[in-house]
Structure 1
C-alpha cells in the first residue's frame, strides 16, 4: 500500500502488493481460524514493501511535504467520504456521541473504528517514513541497527507490561514495532538476490511456521492494537512468509497473463484498503450477505470500481490518490479561472 517509486520494479512489486492487499481484505472478512494466519504477515508485509521502496531525502522539509501530500491528503479525503456518513449514522442511532465522533478522526489510529478502522495504517506508515528518513540521514548504520533492536524491545515491553495501554494518537506507539520491519525492507533492497538452489529452505521454513502457528495461536500480529505476538518468534515467522511471498511474486511476474490481475490489485492497493471495509460491512448489514467468499469478491470488485473511477479524473487522482501533479493542475486551473 505504498507508492511504487521505480518502474523497473513494478513487475514483481505490484504483484507482491496485489497478493498482499488480497490477504488484507480476506483477513477482515474470513473467520479467525483463517484470518489469524493472514494477520501474521499481511501488515508486516506492507511495512517491509514500504522499506524496500524507501528513498531517503536529505531535504527533510521537502520529504515531509511530499509524503504529507501523498498519504495525508487521501487520508483526509477518505475520512470525509466514509467517516462522516458513518458517524452520522452512529450518532443518530445513539451508538456514538457527537464529542467522540469529533475526537476520533483527530486521534486516529486505534481510536478509529467500524468503516474506517483500517485507516490506522496510513498515519502510522507516514510516521515510520519520517522517522526512518531522519535516521538514515543523521545516524550511522550501526547505530540504526541498535536503535531498531531497542525499538523492538520497547514495543514488546509495552505489549507485555501495559496490556491496557490505550495507544497514542495516529498509532505512534506502533511505530516502535513497525520501524524494524520497515528497515529490514530497506536493507533487503541492497542484498536481494536469487536464492537459487536454497529457495526450498524458505518454503520448508514456511511450512514450519504454519504448523507452529496452528499449535500456538498467539503467533500472530494485530499491529493496530499493539499486539505483536510472541517476541522475536512472531517477527521471524512473519519475515519467513514475506520472503516466500517475494519469491512467489517474482515467479508470477515472469508470466504477464498471470501477473496482470495482481498488478492491478497492487496498483489499487491503497484505494482497496480505504474502501473494502465499508463495502463489506454494508454488504453484511444491509443486504444480509453472510457468506465470506461472496463478501470478499463484492468488496474487491466494488473497490476496484472505485479505483478506476478516481483514476479517471484529475480531481480524483489529486484528492483520493495523492497525485501532486494532478492537484496542481486542477487547483491552479481554478485559481487562474477566478483571477
Structure 2
C-alpha cells in the first residue's frame, strides 16, 4: 500500500533517492476509513448506509491497484514481492488479531478454549471473523487480490486478455449469493470475494496514469459528482434498490457493482485532491496513513464502549477513530522519549 510519486531532487548521484507520497491518495484513504467507521457505527439500514457501502470498500481495493507493477520472471522477484508486499501486511494482521483477541479475553471474560478457537478463526479468516475482528476480512481479500492482479499483469501480456480475465472473474464472483450457500461452508479469507476485489484493483491499476493527469479538473469532478448524486437520489426515491456488501457477498446486480462504485470512487478521489489544496491537507494525509490501524481496531473500540453503555452511533464513530490514532501518537512519543534517553546515556 506504499505510494510514491516522482523522485525528489538530490544533490549527488550517490545520495539516497527520497520519494514523496501523493497527497490526494492518502486523503482519499482518510475519507474511506472515516466512511468505514461511520458505516459500522451507523444503526439505520437507510439510503445513506446503502450508498456508503457502495463505495467505501471498493475504494481501498481501487487505490491498492495504483502502485502495482509487473514482476520480472524470476523466482527472486517473486520472493521479494512476497517478502516486501505480502508478508508485512499479513504479519500486521496476525499481530493485530492476537492483540485484539487478548483484549477480548479480558474484557469479555472468555475461556482459554474460546480464545484459542478465536485464533483458529483468525488464521482461517473471512466471514468466520465477527465481533472485535469483523473488519479483518478486508486484509486477506486485499492480499489475495494483490497477488492475483500482480500475477495477471506479470504473466498475461495482452491487455485485452487481462481485462477479459478480471471481467470474467467479476461476473463469476457476482453470479451467486455467497460461498456458504454455494459450497456449504465459507471460504478461507473470504477468497471468493477476491473475484470482485481483483476487478476493482485492476481498474485502479489501469486508471491511475489517467487520474494523475485529470484529477485537478473541476469539470471531471463535477461530471462524476453529478452522476453519483443521480444514483444516490434514485436509491433514495426507490427508483432503484441496490446493495453492494462485499464481506457478506450480498450484491444485487453485477453490472451495477462493476460500474457505480467506481463512479463514486472517482468522486472521492476528486474531493480528496481538492482537500489537498486546503489547510487540512497535512492532517488528512496523516489520517490516511493510519487507515489500516483504524481498520484493525475500531470494531474492538465499539464493543468496549458499548459495554460501558455508550451506544450513540456518532460517539462510537468519533472514538472509533480517535482512540486508535491517540494510541499511535502515544506509541510514537514513547519511542522518541526512549530513544532520547538512550542517546543521553551513550
Show the counterpart of 2:110.
Answer: 92
Picking from 52, 55, 60, the partner of 2:66 is: 52
Could you tell me how far 1:3 is from its partner in structure 2?
3.1
Show the counterpart of 1:28.
Answer: 40
| Partners of 2:128 and 2:105 in 1: CA distance | 13
Show the counterpart of 1:38.
Answer: 52
Asked if 1:3 corresponds to 2:2, the answer is yes
Q: Give SS of 2:251's match.
A: coil
Show the counterpart of 1:63.
Answer: 81
Could you tell me how far 1:216 is from its partner in structure 2?
6.0
| Partners of 2:176 and 2:106 in 1: CA distance | 34
Q: How many residues align?
A: 311
Q: Give SS of 1:219's match.
A: coil
Show the counterpart of 1:149.
Answer: 167
Show the counterpart of 2:8.
Answer: none
Show the counterpart of 2:340.
Answer: none
Could you tell me how far 1:281 is from its partner in structure 2?
1.4
Picking from 219, 222, 227, the partner of 1:205 is: 227
Show the counterpart of 1:220.
Answer: 243
Cα contact 2:4–2:20 (8 A) shared by 1? no
Show the counterpart of 2:311.
Answer: 290
Show the counterpart of 1:107.
Answer: 124
| Partners of 1:313 and 1:133 in 2: CA distance | 38
Picking from 262, 265, 272, the partner of 1:242 is: 265
Specify which structure has the higher proportion of helix. Answer: 1
1:295-306 matches, within 5 Å, as 295-306=316-327
Distance 1:86 1:231, change over 3 A: same
Q: CA offsets per residue over residues 224-252 of structure 1, 9 Å max, x none?
A: 11223321113311111100111111111
Could you tell me how far 1:278 is from its partner in structure 2?
0.6
Cα contact 1:109–1:123 (8 A) shared by 2? yes
Cα contact 2:126–2:188 (8 A) shared by 1? yes
| Partners of 1:311 and 1:55 in 2: CA distance | 32
Could you tell me how far 1:4 is from its partner in structure 2?
2.8
Q: CA offsets per residue over residues 264-308 of structure 1, 9 Å max, x none?
A: 2101111111111111111112x2112111111112110101222
Asked if 1:125 corresponds to 2:142, the answer is yes
Show the counterpart of 2:187.
Answer: 168
Cα contact 2:69–2:153 (8 A) shared by 1? no
Picking from 276, 285, 289, the partner of 1:263 is: 285
Asked if 1:186 corresponds to 2:188, the answer is no
TM-score by length of 2: 0.82
| Partners of 1:313 and 1:69 in 2: CA distance | 26
Note the residue ranges of structure 2 that are not aligned, 5 or more in a row. 6-18, 337-346
Note the residue ranges of structure 1 that are not aligned, 5 or more in a row. 316-339
Distance 1:170 1:216, change over 3 A: farther
Cα RMSD for the two superposed structures: 2.5
| Partners of 2:249 and 2:68 in 1: CA distance | 24
Structure with bigger gyration radius:
2
Distance 1:72 1:160, change over 3 A: closer
| Partners of 1:276 and 1:43 in 2: CA distance | 15
Show the counterpart of 2:328.
Answer: 307
